Amino acid sequence: MVVVDVVVVVATTAATVVDGAGAAVVGIVCAASALSSDESAAVAQTMPTTAAPAPSTTVAAVVATTTTTSTTTTEAPPETAAVEALLGEYYDAYNAGDHAAALALLSTVRELNPIYLEYWVGILGEKVESDCVESRKYPGGLKCIETYRDDLHGPAGEWSEAHYLYFEHDGLLKQLRDPDSFVFPGCKLSRCPGSHIAVDGPVPVWSYEAFELDLFAWLEQQHPDTAELVGDPGRLHYFVHDADAASVVMPFVEEFVAQSEDWGVPDAEGADLTAMTALEAVLAFYEVLNSHDAAQYEAHFGYPPDDPTLWFWVQGRRWDADCTETENEDEVRCELEVTDDFYTKAGAIFEYRELWTKSEGNLFWTTEWANSSDHWVYHDFEEDFGAWMREAYPDDAAIAFPTNDLVHNAEAALIAVEHLDEFLEWSDKYPRDPDPRNRWGD
């Protein structure tokens, strides 16, 4: 896999490693995406009518650097037995290439669009692997990390990932986006087209897209008739679902990868979380983040630090975690305070109580309590700072703030940190005083 970069912080193979690492930190530092009104209603319908309301939580997943070889779930209480059985049937149909049987097991409340499912499974030959744990937020639900490999991108060492929440309802599977997982620009149906290659603007460059462009450029040189049949490399995009274009180029993928110096390179091993206790795995995760050391990061995750991780490091991001084991050997609870030399100086607060669950080589987390300023710091503050930058330093603003949002890479962070003190001196709104309204839960 080509890893030039991943996620803001936090990817079960080397490819999953990239997105998982970045996603986790993003989820810890930023507020996780909230459910839409339709999703909230759908989830609410799956709740047992006799159950007490579940506490509000934020859930995200940190995908570790070990390879998942089969579908596994933690031992589940009786109320998840039905959804586990249905999931087993769904995964079997998916991996057998029977998209119609897989679709028949999903209710009308689902993330997957039948057109995409037919293309990914029937044309690209996509296979799925998963790791699931009981939902801490919704009784009877299973929270799953799913990874996918297909015959177009897979030979290049690339794969995609999704985080879903499943329920059984009337003998079918309700499939929802994990309500608190982080979905990045360029993703669709809760899936991302590979892993981050770079973050040069508001929408990241994804590995699937980079591979498709390189493959097409090679076809133009080596098999021009085939390239002419395709016409536009955009037809190969994972979400365009152009079966004719994919069928034309797939016979040439292995030939292209064999001669490429960039694609199909074996992924690094990374740390073996299966050999660690839950506490050891969580502490190692925070130690690597706080090291600000690229070599240590790559040794642990199996890939170099991505653009968003470097973005955090340039800001001086620090994760101060006080973690203790619970009565469950696979769970760890952490009191977490996140600070830096950028957002913190503007008055932001990031405090969390996290419950980590270790399953095989994966770490899942649930935010049990949060006191966070993310609702204004990633919106109002960045917009105000960007507007000021465009007036005071237009050339730097073109790099760091091409839109209202700060670009998540090291160059943009360096520019923003350099000008922050001047902006704070000029501003009559920042730094803000701590806002007690940020607090929720006790």
Supply the pLDDT for residue 201: 66
Q: How far apart are CA 132 and CA 141, in angstroms?
A: 10
Q: How far apart are CA 48 and CA 186, in angstroms?
A: 35
Mean pLDDT of the chain: 82
Q: Is the pLDDT of residue 412 over 60?
A: yes
Beta strand 172-177 pairing with 160-169: antiparallel
CA-based nearest residue to 194, from 303, 300, 111, 33: 303
Q: Answer whether 434's CB lies under 8 Å from 349's CB.
A: yes
DSSP secondary structure code for residue 380 in this structure: I
| Average pLDDT, integer, range 41-64 | 39
Q: How far apart are CA 336 and CA 352, in angstroms?
A: 5
Residue-range domain boundaries for the chain: 38-46+56-198, 205-259, 375-440
Q: Is the pLDDT of residue 126 over 50?
A: yes
- Exposed, middle or buried: residue 381 (CB in 10 Å: 0-12, 13-18, 19+)? buried
The least confident of 196-205, 283-292, 413-422 is 196-205
Supply the pLDDT for residue 436: 55
> 38-46+56-198 in CATH: which number?
3.10.450.50
Structure tokens at 306: 């991505």
Detail the DSSP E strand segments found in 94-210.
Answer: 127-134, 142-149, 160-169, 172-177, 191-192, 196-198, 205-206
Supply the pLDDT for residue 29: 37
384-390 CB contacts, 8 Å cutoff, 24+ apart: 384/427, 384/429, 384/430, 385/416, 385/420, 385/423, 388/423, 388/426, 388/427, 389/416, 389/419, 389/423
Q: Is the pLDDT of residue 45 over 70?
A: no
Q: Is the omega angle on the peptide bond into residue 10 within 30 degrees of 0, that is, cis?
A: yes
Q: How far apart are CA 86 and CA 156, in angstroms?
A: 32
Supply the pLDDT for residue 362: 84
Q: How far apart are CA 22 and CA 328, in angstroms?
A: 27
- Residue 117 has a CB neighbour count (10 Å cut-off) of 20
Per-residue pLDDT reduced to its tens digit, 389-409:
999 999 999 999 998 889 988
Q: Which residue has the tokens 């050891």?
A: 280
- Residues with Cβ within 8 Å of 404's Cβ and at least 6 positions away in sequence, in order, are 382, 383, 386
Query: How far, CA to CA in Å, does 34 sit from each of 60, 100, 195, 275?
Result: 12, 31, 22, 34
- Dihedral sign computed on CA atoms, order 138, 142, 144, 149: negative
| Average pLDDT, integer, range 320-345 | 94
Supply the pLDDT for residue 359: 87
